[in-house]
């Protein structure tokens, strides 16, 4: 008997979630490999998350992605959380292991893979400045620390959120981490190797917005990264490129974190180029 889609369902829970592009790249990957899987985009209100996870179990779904506002709240509904995701306190991917649901976080891993494969940079021993202390920053900082970066300069407007991330990193990693209050234009340290915009500044439709960074401190050879996938070439990256920096867009991070989740669910290597092209077609 031909296998049905109901044995191979994955998807995303979020609110709002209608504009989430993940289904495009995952379904493109399934079709390219000729496997009968389907990715569903599902609107789940915060108060219904527990019921949604119960429904996922009942439908024998293979896995799920979590987006705003469910990445933290989902943890109490899972059987296990991977150690790195537990440190971050956030889950963006759930995989099934038999009857058990295990929480993972692929965001930081996707960033690292983009850094090493697309920019050709080994982060070990490097000095990094990260703008922002939200969820993306948390995942990236934890993975960078685990990858052996020497120092992280964390820049954020809110000291409270930054303090929580600083404490997390100091308690769980060996990285030298420092906080810089973002109350005026920030300069990039002269010895920094990598600059990461982990904020939403420049995200569509506010495509001309720029983080308040002194562009004169961006030098030739500095690796400048943006987590924003749409547009892939943000105004910030364009300006940094004009200064001679090596630029790394957020599209790679989005693709690779999805590819890591694809492998967790299917056991197959993801067709990364197919997934990237599918997203490029969407973003234009």
Q: Does residue 38 carry a catalytic annotation?
A: no
Round the average pLDDT of the chain to a whole number and report it. Answer: 94
Residue 160 banded pLDDT, cuts 50, 70, 90: confident
Residue 44 banded pLDDT, cuts 50, 70, 90: very high
Q: What is the DSSP letter of 48?
A: G
What are the pLDDT digits (tens) for 90-138? Answer: 999 999 999 999 999 999 999 999 999 999 999 999 999 999 998 899 9
5-105+253-283 and 108-248 in the same fold: yes
pLDDT surpassing 60 at residue 51: yes
Pick from 115-119, 133-137, 185-189, 223-227: least confident:
133-137
pLDDT surpassing 70 at residue 74: yes
Q: Provide the residue ranges of all domains of the chain, joining segments of one domain with +.
A: 5-105+253-283, 108-248
Cis, peptide link before residue 201, omega less than 30° from 0: no
> Into which CATH architecture does domain 108-248 fall?
3-Layer(aba) Sandwich (3.40)
On whether the CB atoms of residues 246 and 224 are closer than 8 A, the answer is: yes
Buried b (16+ CB within 10 A) or exposed e, 239-249: bbeeeebbbbb
User: Which among 51, 71, 109, 127 is annotated as catalytic?
Assistant: 71
- Of all residues in the chain, the percent with pLDDT exceeding 70 is 98
Element spanning 128, H or E: strand 127-131
pLDDT of residue 284: 73
pLDDT of residue 142: 96
Q: Tell me what the mean pLDDT of segment 186-208 comes to.
A: 94
Determine the straight-line distance between the first and last CA of the chain, rounded to whole angstroms: 41
Long-range contacts of 158-165 (CB under 8 A, 24+ apart): 158/133, 161/133, 161/134, 162/133, 164/133, 165/133, 165/137, 165/138, 165/141
pLDDT of residue 232: 87
pLDDT of residue 19: 82
Length in residues, the chain: 284
pLDDT of residue 7: 63
> Into which CATH architecture does domain 5-105+253-283 fall?
3-Layer(aba) Sandwich (3.40)
Q: Tell me what the mean pLDDT of segment 221-249 comes to.
A: 95
pLDDT surpassing 50 at residue 1: no
Q: What is the DSSP letter of 72?
A: T
Residue 256 banded pLDDT, cuts 50, 70, 90: very high
């Amino acid at each position: 008997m031909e296998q049905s889609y109901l044995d191979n369902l994955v998807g995303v829970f979020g609110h709002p979630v209608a504009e989430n592009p993940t289904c495009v790249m995952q379904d493109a990957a399934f079709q390219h490999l000729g496997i009968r899987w389907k990715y569903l985009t599902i609107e789940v209100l915060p108060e219904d998350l527990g019921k949604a996870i119960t429904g996922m179990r009942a439908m024998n779904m293979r896995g799920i992605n979590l987006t705003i506002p469910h990445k933290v709240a989902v943890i109490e509904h899972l059987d296990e959380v991977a150690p790195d995701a537990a440190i971050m306190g956030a889950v963006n991917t759930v995989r099934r292991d038999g009857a058990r649901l295990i929480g993972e976080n692929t965001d930081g891993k996707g960033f690292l893979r983009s850094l090493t494969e697309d920019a050709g940079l080994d982060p070990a021993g490097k000095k990094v400045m990260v703008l922002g202390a939200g969820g993306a920053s948390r995942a990236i900082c934890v993975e960078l620390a685990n990858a052996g970066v020497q120092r992280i300069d964390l820049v954020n407007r809110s000291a409270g959120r930054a303090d929580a991330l600083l404490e997390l990193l100091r308690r769980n990693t060996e990285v030298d981490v420092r906080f810089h209050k973002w109350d005026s234009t920030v300069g990039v340290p002269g010895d920094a190797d990598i600059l990461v915009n982990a904020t939403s500044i420049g995200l569509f439709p506010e495509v001309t917005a720029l983080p308040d960074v002194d562009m004169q401190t961006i030098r030739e050879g500095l690796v400048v990264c943006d987590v924003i996938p749409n547009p892939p070439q943000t105004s910030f990256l364009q300006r940094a490129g004009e200064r001679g920096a090596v630029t790394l867009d957020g599209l790679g991070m989005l693709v690779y974190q999805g590819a890591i989740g694809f492998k967790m669910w299917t056991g197959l290597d993801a067709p990364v180029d197919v997934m990237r092209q599918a997203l490029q077609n969407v973003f234009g």
